[in-house]
Structure 1
Amino acid sequence: MGTEKTSPADGQAAMFEPAGWDARYAGKESVWRGTPNPQLVAVAEGLHAGRALDVGCGEGGDVIWLARQGWTVTGADFSAEGLARAARHAEEAGVAERTDWWRTDARNFAAGGRTYDLVTTHYLHPANGAMVDVVRQLAQAVAPGGRLLVVGHSPTAHFTQLTQMHLRAMFLAEELLPGLPDGFEVLAAQQRPRTLVRDGVDVDVEDSTLLARRRPE
C-alpha cells in the first residue's frame, strides 16, 4: 500500500475541521493567552449577569471570565480536546460550578430549545462565507431581550501570513446582517480597533463586531 500524500490545500482545510483543532489542542502548551476578548468585556460589563453561551470557546478563556462575573456559562466547541482543556481551566479557576460544556459544530448548530441572555462567538471563521448562516442559527438561542455578540477578524492587509482560504473566511460586520432573523435590533455593526502583539511589535487591527438585541416578546 502506498503512502498517501497531503497537499498544502488539505493542510489549510484541516484547520476548519475538528480533527485539525484536536491536533492543535493536544500539545502541552496553551494555544491562547486565556484573557477575555476586549469586545466581550465591553459588552458584558454593562449587562446583568444571567445565562450565556460562548460558541467556539476553545480553551475557555471567555467562559471563565464570564463565570467570574457571575454568569452561568455554557462553552461550546467542535473540538473535544479544546473542551477538555477548557473544563480543566475552569476547575483550576474555581468556576466549574458555573460552567458546562457542549460539543457541537457551529456550522450545523441547533439550539434545541435552549435560550440564553447572551450568545457570543469570537473569531469563528468557517470556510466559504458560511458565517452568515452561523449567525442565523445562533440567533435562535438568544432569549427575548437577550444579546447576540459576534466578533471576527476583519480582512485587512495586516494578516499577510494567512492563506487566501483563511482570508476569504474573514468578514466585515455589515456582511453578517442578512443572517439576523426578524425580531432583532442592531445595536452595533462596525469595525472596532484593537492592538495585538506580533513578533514583539504592536499591530493595529480591526474587529468586525456585530451586536444585536432580540426584542422582548
Structure 2
Amino acid sequence: MSHQFDESYWNGRYGKHGNIWSGKPNPQLVAEASGLLPGRALDVGCGEGADAVWLAGRGWRVTGVDISSVALERAAGHAAGLKPPGSIAWEHHDLLSWTPPVASFELVSAQFMHVPREDREPLFARLAAAVAPGGTLLVVGHAPSDVDSGAHRPHGAELFFTAVEVAAALDASLWEVLLTGSRPRRATGHGGETVTIHDEIMRAVRLH
C-alpha cells in the first residue's frame, strides 16, 4: 500500500488543525443504528470519537479503533467526563494489518473507510468476520459520483465504492443484506457553496 494514508499522514492531518470533523455522529450511523439493541460495537476508523460517544450514549460497549494516535487522544478528550450507559475502549491499530476478534461484535460500523481496492477488499472481509451471529455490518462511503459534485474529493473516485459492490463480496449463505442504497445529503463545496453529495450505504445481518 502507498504510505499516503499511514499513521504519519493521519497524525499530520489531525495535528495541523483543530477538530477536523463536526463532533456529531455520522448521519447514516444514526439512521441505521438507532433501532438496534445495544451490545458490543466496533467503530472502525473512529477518528475524533463522535460515533463512539453516540453509541456509548445509547448503551453500546464500544471499541473505537484508529491508526492515528492524535485522533485517539482527541477522541478520549471528547469522551472525558461523560458517563454514558455504555462504555468506550480506545485502541490504536493499523486497520490494514490488524485483525479484529472473530464473531465478537453485534455492530461493526465502517464510516467512510476509503483506501485502495487492493486494501479495501481484505479489510472489509476481516470486518465482516468480526460480526457475531445476529449482528449488523454497516458500511458507509462516498459515492464515486461525488467526484463530479463539487464536493472536496482530492483523492479521486478510485478510492470510493458502491454499496452493491460491498454487498456482493458477502457470502450469501451467511448474510442477509437489508440495504444497498445511495442517500443524498447537503454539503459544502470547494467554494463554500452548497452541493448535493451521496452516501453509499450497505447494511447486512449475519445469519450464523
- The normalised TM-score by structure 1 is 0.85
CA contact (8 A) 1:90 1:96 kept: no
Give the aligned partner of residue 199 of structure 2.
Answer: 207
* CA distance, structure 1, for counterparts of residue 23 and residue 151 of structure 2: 25
CA 1:37/1:160 → structure 2, altered by over 3 Å: closer, same or farther? Answer: closer
* CA distance, structure 2, for counterparts of residue 169 and residue 28 of structure 1: 24
**Could you say which structure has the larger radius of gyration?**
1
Give the aligned partner of residue 194 of structure 1.
Answer: 185
* CA distance, structure 2, for counterparts of residue 129 and residue 172 of structure 1: 15
Q: Which amino acid counterpart does residue 164 of structure 2 have in structure 1?
A: E
CA 1:145/1:81 → structure 2, altered by over 3 Å: closer, same or farther? Answer: same
CA contact (8 A) 1:16 1:127 kept: no
Deviation at 1:171, TM superposition (A): 0.9
Q: Which amino acid counterpart does residue 174 of structure 1 have in structure 2?
A: V
Unaligned runs of 5+ in 1: 1-12
SS of corresponding position for 2:113: coil
Further displaced range: 190-199 or 115-124? 190-199
SS of corresponding position for 1:106: coil
Give the aligned partner of residue 171 of structure 1.
Answer: 161
CA contact (8 A) 2:57 2:86 kept: no
The RMSD of aligned alpha carbons is 2.1
* CA distance, structure 1, for counterparts of residue 6 and residue 188 of structure 2: 27
Further displaced range: 187-196 or 141-150? 187-196
Deviation at 1:110, TM superposition (A): 0.9
Give the aligned partner of residue 20 of structure 1.
Answer: 9
Q: Deviations over 1:178-198 (max 9, x none)?
A: 432340111111111122233
Give the aligned partner of residue 68 of structure 2.
Answer: 79
CA contact (8 A) 1:187 1:212 kept: yes
Q: Which amino acid counterpart does residue 161 of structure 2 have in structure 1?
A: F
Give the aligned partner of residue 92 of structure 2.
Answer: 103
- The normalised TM-score by structure 2 is 0.88
* CA distance, structure 1, for counterparts of residue 96 and residue 116 of structure 2: 10
Q: Which amino acid counterpart does residue 178 of structure 2 have in structure 1?
A: L
Please show how residues 1-217 of structure 1 align to structure 2 within 5 Å. Answer: 15-27=4-16, 29-95=18-84, 98-113=87-102, 115-128=104-117, 130-156=119-145, 157-159=148-150, 161-163=152-154, 165-181=155-171, 182-198=173-189, 199-215=191-207, 217=208
* CA distance, structure 1, for counterparts of residue 136 and residue 130 of structure 2: 10
CA contact (8 A) 1:152 1:207 kept: yes
Aligned length: 203
